[in-house]
Homo-oligomer: A and B are copies of this chain.
């Protein structure tokens, strides 16, 4: 087994579930030093604002950034457009269009109902006013991530979308990121990264406005900083390593499935790729395909590592067994490479995003189909949801009663308040009943 590219569990459901459950614990443990350092940086930003922000940026990212040039100018943006490839620009525009289309469908209206006696009840749904989006820089500069985080906020109607991203050594920002931000409707871009950028968004500095919510992926420092400021501001989920489960019957195409498993595995060495299939023949074929295809891929080492450590093929007796396994594990991405994928859709209880059929490979969803690629990981799809317009709105209830309506039910409110021993609550009602 040692040298195989991926392990194979043959018709042993318990063993399969045990293996999959163990994958849940593959998070990196956070070192004490990181927490201490993050708290120190956050305190610096809270106390000293821009001074601290510039100081940390100069030390950690670029000594070319100062208070005057920390905000990306219109000219820098125009320059970025000149630098990006035409083909990239076209692709990112189509992606933005599709993402906008899908997220527009998520918008909800405020609503109210009127009842007898002049009772009016309802809920105002409003966009958050200010949102901060963190975008990692350097090697992991992902324009797709800019679109996926900013467009739902823009569609929700957020007034002020502020992006922060660490500058390169020379003080510049990757032009692909800048162009994506512009297309996604970002209002302001700042050259700041790490815990210091999260602190600036949460507490505000002279340059960067305080926001209501911070979203976007980042390294361990960013994740810890987000966790720490939660409550001052809202945050999105802290994402764990990426994962895919493919469910396939004998109609599954080994070539495609192997490619899709590796598209997750290439993310990082902690990524997990799992195939659950009713076909032993397919299982063997996929293993061969993995070995064949991996050779030509640039991130081969990462892929082999992650497949060997966190990949598995499980052969099961029935499709139902495979679906039960998915529901138990609640994978971030779930591909249904089976004859009738839509028929199974109703049985999938827990999954972040579901890919139906042979021509909806997971990378299509990562970039271009329209649904969000920010998804719940590590089994949290049991209770968390993909990033959506809902994450950028807040609700307020409202209540109006006429005098008659209140007198009608007043006695019951008084009874409930008295039962709970809250006499001032009761008094607020009975004082209105007395003056009738």
**Set of chain B residues within 8 Å of A426, measured between Cβ atoms:** 363
Please judge, given known A-B contacts A353-B398, A431-B256, whether A111 and B105 are in contact too, CB under 8 Å: yes
Give the size category of A's interface with B: 35 or more
Which of B139, B364, B399 is within 8 Å of A399, CB to CB? B364
Report Cα–Cα, A48/B120, bound state, in Å: 51
**Set of chain B residues within 8 Å of A385, measured between Cβ atoms:** 393-396
Which of B94, B366, B369, B415 is within 8 Å of A91, CB to CB? B415
Is A359 a contact of B402 with CB atoms below 8 Å? yes
Q: How many Å from the CB of A329 to the closest CB on chain B?
A: 14
Q: How many copies does the complex hold?
A: 2
Q: How many Å from the CB of A312 to the closest CB on chain B?
A: 18
**Set of chain B residues within 8 Å of A342, measured between Cβ atoms:** 400
Please judge, given known A-B contacts A383-B212, A383-B234, A423-B266, whether A406 and B356 are in contact too, CB under 8 Å: no
Please judge, given known A-B contacts A381-B394, A397-B372, A399-B355, whether A412 and B341 are in contact too, CB under 8 Å: no
A255: interface (CB < 8 Å): yes
Is B234 a contact of A384 with CB atoms below 8 Å? yes
Report Cα–Cα, A303/B425, bound state, in Å: 12
Interface residues of A in 36-85 (CB under 8 A from B): 85
A388: interface (CB < 8 Å): yes
Q: How many Å from the CB of A92 to the closest CB on chain B?
A: 7
Q: Which residue of B lies closest to A353 (CB)?
A: B397
Is B293 a contact of A427 with CB atoms below 8 Å? yes
Interface 1/0 per residue, A133-144 and B, CB below 8 Å: 000000101111
Is B416 a contact of A144 with CB atoms below 8 Å? yes
A213: interface (CB < 8 Å): yes
Please judge, given known A-B contacts A355-B399, A399-B353, whether A428 and B361 are in contact too, CB under 8 Å: yes
Which of B126, B299, B382, B424 is within 8 Å of A266, CB to CB? B424
A10: interface (CB < 8 Å): no
Q: Which residue of B lies closest to A294 (CB)?
A: B424
A419: interface (CB < 8 Å): yes
Report Cα–Cα, A277/B137, bound state, in Å: 50
Q: How many Å from the CB of A191 to the closest CB on chain B?
A: 21
Is A398 a contact of B256 with CB atoms below 8 Å? no
**Set of chain B residues within 8 Å of A311, measured between Cβ atoms:** none
The 9 closest A-B pairs by CB, nearest first: A371-B397, A91-B412, A385-B395, A266-B424, A363-B425, A356-B400, A234-B383, A354-B398, A259-B428
Give 30 pairs: A residue, B residue, CB < 8 Å, sorted on A: A121-B369, A121-B370, A123-B386, A124-B345, A139-B421, A143-B416, A256-B432, A262-B428, A263-B422, A266-B422, A266-B423, A266-B425, A297-B424, A298-B421, A299-B424, A345-B398, A353-B396, A356-B398, A359-B401, A360-B399, A361-B406, A363-B417, A364-B399, A366-B417, A367-B416, A369-B399, A370-B399, A371-B397, A375-B397, A381-B396
